[in-house]
């Protein structure tokens, strides 16, 4: 399984980097409202480094888990900024969760990987739902995948429903005031604009879905 999945990991991260290239400006604009405007640049740098690292690992004959682990390291090292460290940790934790369940069905493995990634972000960044961070989109996404996996729903429907929930949650962050991160000092100014990290989370998982789930 692990060796066969390595090309899927490489393709998914390539797709993520391509989507973030298209969104770079928009994410920068969102982050400039109350933050420092670098979210688009940082995410693109992180994802590009991650895609490259995964590709190098796959070419060296490593399996999917090792590719993901290298990708997480590269993302954290090269992105810069809070989101880069958090995404690096999240991807590393997702890799670990996949390694622990080689034989589970795809929906269960995906739900476990996403949950582990979100848990790592929460453990490291200390955010809870409502703080106006990526966690506001990530938590409902993980919960929806878990529900669907437990109910035996087919993966495509599960991912689509989870993305609908996460996208609504990301848009709903527009009404919130940031309680963490660089946008906090200018919290009032951010009201009316969604959290950039929540928006990028949704688009990244949509990109992953388009590659991983047929
Ligand atoms: P920086 O704030 O260092 O410039 P970015 O602009 O790349 O980093 O990322 C900002 C995003 O990071 C925010 O929109 C938010 O979603 C996320 N973020 C910031 N702090 C936290 C945290 N403690 N926990 C979870 N997410 C966070
Ligand atoms: Mg920023
Ligand atoms: Mg910054």
- How large is the ipTM? 0.99
What does the pLDDT look like over 39-72, one tens digit per residue? 999 999 999 999 999 999 999 999 999 999 999 9
| Residue 61 CB contacts under 8 Å (≥ 6 apart), including other chains | none
CA 88/CA 4 separation, integer angstroms: 23
Q: What is the mean pLDDT of the chain?
A: 96
Sign of the alpha-carbon torsion through 49, 55, 61, 67: positive
Q: What share of the chain is helix, strand, coil (3-state, %, to 5)?
A: 80, 0, 20
* Residue 190 in contact with ligand 1 by CB distance below 6 A: no
A 10 A CB-CB count for 24 gives: 17
According to the model, what pLDDT value does residue 15 have?
98
pLDDT(140) > 90: yes
* Claim: this prediction has a pTM higher than 0.95: yes
Please, are residues 74 and 56 in contact by the beta-carbon 8 Å criterion?
no
For residue 3, what pLDDT band results from cuts at 50, 70 and 90?
confident
For the chain, what are the domain ranges?
A: 2-212
According to the model, what pLDDT value does residue 115 have?
98
According to the model, what pLDDT value does residue 101 have?
92
For residue 165, what pLDDT band results from cuts at 50, 70 and 90?
very high
Choosing from 35, 181, 203 the residue with most ligand 1 atoms within 8 A of its CB, the one to mutate for a pocket test is: 181
A 10 A CB-CB count for 105 gives: 12
CA 13/CA 207 separation, integer angstroms: 8
- From ligand 3's centre to the CA of 62, what distance in Å? 33
* Residue 203 in contact with ligand 1 by CB distance below 6 A: no
Percent of the chain predicted with pLDDT > 70:
100
Pick the CATH number of 2-212 from 3.40.50.2000, 2.60.40.10, 3.30.70.20, 1.25.40.340: 1.25.40.340
According to the model, what pLDDT value does residue 184 have?
86
Residue owning the nearest CA to atom 14 of ligand 1: 197
According to the model, what pLDDT value does residue 1 have?
66
| Residue-level length of the chain | 214
Sign of the alpha-carbon torsion through 87, 33, 37, 211: positive
- From ligand 2's centre to the CA of 101, what distance in Å? 35
What does the pLDDT look like over 91-117, one tens digit per residue? 999 999 999 998 899 999 999 999 999
User: In the Cβ-directed half-sphere of 10, how many Cα atoms lie within 13 Å?
Assistant: 20
Percent of the chain predicted with pLDDT > 90:
93
CA 49/CA 45 separation, integer angstroms: 6
Residue owning the nearest CA to atom 18 of ligand 1: 133
What does the pLDDT look like over 182-203, one tens digit per residue? 888 888 999 999 999 999 999 9
């Amino acid at each position: 399984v692990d060796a066969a999945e390595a090309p899927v990991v490489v393709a998914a991260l390539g797709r993520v980097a391509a989507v973030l290239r298209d969104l770079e400006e928009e994410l920068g604009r969102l982050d400039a409202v109350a933050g420092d405007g670098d979210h688009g640049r940082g995410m693109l740098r992180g994802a590009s480094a991650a895609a490259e690292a995964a590709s190098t690992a796959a070419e060296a004959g490593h399996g999917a888990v090792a590719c993901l682990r290298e990708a997480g390291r590269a993302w954290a090292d090269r992105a810069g900024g809070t989101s880069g460290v958090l995404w690096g940790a999240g991807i590393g934790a997702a890799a670990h969760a996949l390694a622990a369940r080689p034989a589970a069905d795809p929906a269960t493995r995906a739900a476990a990987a996403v949950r582990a990634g979100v848990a790592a972000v929460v453990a490291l960044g200390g955010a809870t739902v409502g703080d106006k961070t990526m966690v506001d989109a990530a938590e409902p996404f993980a919960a929806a995948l878990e529900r669907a996996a437990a109910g035996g729903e087919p993966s495509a429907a599960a991912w689509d429903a989870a993305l609908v929930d996460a996208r609504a949650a990301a848009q709903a962050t527009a009404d919130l005031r940031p309680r963490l991160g660089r946008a906090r000092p200018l919290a009032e100014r951010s009201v009316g604009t969604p959290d950039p990290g929540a928006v990028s989370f949704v688009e990244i998982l949509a990109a992953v879905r388009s590659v991983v789930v047929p």
